[in-house]
A = this chain, B = another copy of it.
Amino acid sequence: QEDGNNIKLTALPYYNYGKGVGLTSPDSLFQFNIRFRMQNRISYLKDEDKDAAYEAAIRRLRLRFDGYVGMPEIVYAIQLSFSERDVASGNKEERINIIRDAIVFYRPDKNWNIGFGQTKLPGNRQRINSSGALQLTDRSINNAMFNIDRDFGLHTYYLNEKTNQFSYNIKTAISTGEGRNWTQESDNGLAYTGKVELFPFGAFEGNGSLFEGDITREQKPKLMLSGAYHFNEKARRTRGTVGTLLFDQKNISSLLLDAMFKYQGWSFQAAYLSRMNNDPISVNPDDNTETTYVFKGMGTDAQLSYLFPTNYEVVGRYSYQQPHSDIENLHPTTNQLSLGVSKYIWEHALKLQAEVTNTQLDYLNNNDQSNWYVRFQVEIGI
């Protein structure tokens, strides 16, 4: 399961290229690998009702440490984030959010992978992908709205990927349901997540299901079909594990379906994401004019790309997002179309990305809006 000092962690698909840098203790009791990843970008924004603007920042800057303690069956993985948007993102009630992953795995054999700690839940494919292994500069609007993110708990995987034959993975998690680095009021409502991944024609080359684009130029067609269901009992936040606080606790469930196909430089991905809840509106008990709501609804993504032999890639993505009728007066229906060109210098470890995106927001009162951005991004990491 080790290749050089790269521990293959299907639970933590941090994209690797080459052999990375690492340290092993003189007595071989410890292994300690260090990685970093940085994403610098500039965007030109033109929203329909605003002046044009430039937005430029370090979108992501991550350090990752992984390795084993005592024996290769006991693996740890830590990921820290430092960029302003990563640290302060989401819920302002949380003071800080440096830790993304902090988990210890026990891997008794090549099939079982049992983790205790904080990492991504087995949710939609694009969220499980490292943000450093995307084809466009960021994930889709549906991922942003419906993904089930990271959580703290017991993560149990049965992995059974085989070359050139039907194979599958089963991934489950029992977690707090409150999301990353939660230290506020606790409750006895947990979250339960289950996912099945099917590979009808066998596993992708080079863990290809963990990154976007057909960088390995699959010689045979490869397909992944996956479905995840997540039930979050007594959730406290507008999007379950993420978002601002609700005034009361809600039971929230999610259904996340994905398909991924790659063949000879072509890649196609499709996704369906949804969130369900019976009474999405949450009213402040002290002031019933103040409300918030569970974002209930569904969305679909479709993404197609071709990688030229020069390692230039063209990619297009279309996303449709539909809030449920319970909240359709609170949130627009959204269509988004993105076109991108990428140059892979060292696969996803060093790439240049350009993207143009149009977003159509359709409000219930016919007050529609069309926004544009053009973005240039450099991704670099080891």
| Contact code string A140-177 (vs B, CB < 8 Å = 1, else 0) | 00000000000011000000000000000000000110
Q: Are A104 and B380 in contact (CB under 8 A)?
A: yes
> Per DSSP, are chain A's interface residues mostly helix, strand or loop, or mixed?
strand
Q: What residue of chain B has the Cβ atom nearest to residue A84's Cβ?
A: B181
Chain B hits for A176, CB < 8 A: 54, 56
Chain B hits for A65, CB < 8 A: 36, 63
Given contacts A88-B95, A94-B84, contact A118 B19 (CB under 8 A): no
Q: A40 in the interface, Cβ–Cβ < 8 Å?
A: yes
Q: Provide the bound-state CA to CA distance between A283 and B33, in Å.
A: 53
Q: Are B382 and A32 in contact (CB under 8 A)?
A: yes
Chain B hits for A69, CB < 8 A: 346, 349-350, 380-382
Q: A302 in the interface, Cβ–Cβ < 8 Å?
A: no
Q: Provide the bound-state CA to CA distance between A188 and B311, in Å.
A: 33
Give residues 356-379 of A contacting B (CB, 8 Å).
378
Q: Are A382 and B25 in contact (CB under 8 A)?
A: yes
Chain B hits for A104, CB < 8 A: 38, 40, 378, 380
7 nearest interchain CB pairs? A21-B23, A53-B186, A18-B29, A84-B181, A30-B382, A55-B186, A40-B117
Q: What residue of chain B has the Cβ atom nearest to residue A96's Cβ?
A: B87
Give residues 330-367 of A contacting B (CB, 8 Å).
345-346, 349-350
Q: A98 in the interface, Cβ–Cβ < 8 Å?
A: yes
Q: A85 in the interface, Cβ–Cβ < 8 Å?
A: yes
Q: Provide the bound-state CA to CA distance between A70 and B45, in Å.
A: 32
Q: What residue of chain B has the Cβ atom nearest to residue A184's Cβ?
A: B84
Chain B hits for A67, CB < 8 A: 382
Q: Are A57 and B152 in contact (CB under 8 A)?
A: yes
Give residues 76-135 of A contacting B (CB, 8 Å).
76, 78, 80, 82-85, 87-88, 94-99, 102-104, 116-118
In the complex, what's the smallest C-beta–C-beta distance from A373 to chain B, in angstroms? 11
Q: Provide the bound-state CA to CA distance between A32 and B38, in Å.
A: 14
Q: A48 in the interface, Cβ–Cβ < 8 Å?
A: no
Given contacts A53-B187, A84-B94, A98-B87, contact A345 B38 (CB under 8 A): no
Selected from B98, B186, B187, the residue in CB contact (under 8 A) with A82 is B98
Q: Provide the bound-state CA to CA distance between A171 and B163, in Å.
A: 53
